[in-house]
Amino acid sequence: MEVANTIDSVRELVKAARSAGKKIGFVPTMGALHIGHISLIEAAVKKCDFVIVSIFVNPTQFGPGEDYKKYPRPLEDDLEICRNAGVDVVFAPAQEQMYPSENVTWVNVEKLTEPLCGRSRPGHFRGVTTVCAKLFNIVAPDVVFFGAKDAQQAIVIKRMVEDLNMPLEIVVCPTIRESDGLAVSSRNKYLTEEEKKDATLIYKSLEKCREMIEAGTTDIGTITAEMRTILSQSPAIEVEYVSIVDVEILQSIDHITGKVLAVVAVRIGQTRLIDNIVVDIEQQ
Ligand code: PAF
């Protein structure tokens, strides 16, 4: 496995792989790799011939007062995980490589970035789409892998790729969960044991949502009220949003029809956690 720290070096490595006729798979990450990332790498290894993982804690997607500074950066452990998972190249640029001067060019996906996390984290998606556009230009992958846990991110990036005619395929892989249902996330590292227990209420609320939809409840207000009741079982949980939205355009809906996305964002202590499920009544 090669570790490339510069844009020129990663481009050289990709160029050689491409001239050898290899299909390039790419997993963009901010490091602190866990089984969720490993599942993305495995999907990339299965579908592609040459796999690149980027590790870059992107400052432009963090708001003031967010966890940019304390975001975990266990680079050596991450490299070991990549090595064991069959990655060909890790691209781990310094901030000066990615943003050598003040950034004045931004990629902004409108509408889809306004609700949900876009409301509580202004500028977040602009940072994500800008860094992804830069990474896609640097790596020039054929296929890029994202996790379904960050549902809004995956939808926004898919739309950016479509609208800007980027010649690549986006694959969204299923959320990986602990045995108690908690979605695996790099930010789970911030949780105390007690907070981890509280956090299991997030998936419990989503399961309740699925159960109610499957039992025929169609009124969104009734379902989200039940979900909030479950979350309120822990006084440590501060709900940011509990919502059921259209799975394509993320707009609020009044009644369940077809395929919907149920989404939850909460704060537990200092930690912000998100999770979601897709429920498709037509598939029942
Ligand atoms: O999902 C993440 O880890 C980040 O938002 C991403 C896609 C690597 C961009 O910095």
pLDDT tens digits for range 13-34: 999 999 999 999 999 999 999 9
> Could you confirm whether 37 is annotated as catalytic?
yes
Average pLDDT over all residues of the chain: 97
pLDDT in tens, 186-232: 999 999 999 999 999 999 999 999 999 999 999 999 999 999 999 99
The residue whose CB lies within 8 Å of the most ligand 1 atoms, and thus the one to mutate among 30, 188, 274, is 30
Position 252 pLDDT exceeds 80: yes
Residues 23 and 143 in one domain: yes
Question: What's the rounded mean pLDDT across residues 58-79?
Answer: 97
pLDDT for 283: 65
Residues 91 and 208 in one domain: no
Residues 167 and 47 in one domain: yes
pLDDT band at 281; cut points 50, 70, 90: confident
| Nearest residue (CA) to ligand 1, atom 9 | 128
Residues 209 and 269 in one domain: yes
CA distance 110 to 129: 11
Which CATH number covers residue 31? 3.40.50.620
pLDDT for 282: 79
What is the position in ligand 1's atom list of the atom closest to the CA of 58?
10
Domain end: 119, 143, 173, which one? 173
The residue whose CB lies within 8 Å of the most ligand 1 atoms, and thus the one to mutate among 26, 27, 29, is 29
| Nearest residue (CA) to ligand 1, atom 5 | 128
CA of 208 to the centre of ligand 1 (A): 29
**Which domain, by its residues, includes 7?**
2-173
Which CATH number covers residue 253? 3.30.1300.10
For residues 59, 61, 62, 67, the Cα torsion angle rounded to the nearest 10 degrees is -80
Position 39 pLDDT exceeds 70: yes
Number of domain units in the chain: 2
pTM given for the model: 0.97
Residues 118 and 193 in one domain: no
Domain end: 173, 194, 224, which one? 173
More confident residue, 254 or 167: 167
CA of 3 to the centre of ligand 1 (A): 19
| Nearest residue (CA) to ligand 1, atom 3 | 29
pLDDT for 142: 98
Residues 30 and 108 in one domain: yes
pLDDT for 209: 98
Ligand 1 environment, Cβ below 6 A: 28-30, 58, 61, 128, 131-132, 150, 153
Q: Is 169 exposed, middle or buried (0-12, 13-18, 19+ CB in 10 A)?
A: middle
149-153 long-range CB contacts below 8 Å, 24 or more apart?
Answer: 149/36, 149/175, 149/176, 149/183, 149/184, 149/185, 149/274, 149/275, 149/276, 150/274, 151/261, 151/263, 151/276, 151/278, 152/112, 152/113, 152/116, 152/117, 152/118, 152/125, 152/250, 152/263, 153/125, 153/128
pLDDT band at 152; cut points 50, 70, 90: very high
User: Residue 97: inside a domain, yes or no?
Assistant: yes
pLDDT band at 254; cut points 50, 70, 90: confident
Residues 160 and 256 in one domain: no
Residues 106 and 232 in one domain: no
pLDDT in tens, 79-123: 999 999 999 999 999 999 999 999 999 999 999 999 999 999 999
Residues 142 and 197 in one domain: no
User: Residue 99: inside a domain, yes or no?
Assistant: yes
User: Residue 180: inside a domain, yes or no?
Assistant: no
User: Residue 55: inside a domain, yes or no?
Assistant: yes
pLDDT for 284: 60
User: Residue 282: inside a domain, yes or no?
Assistant: no
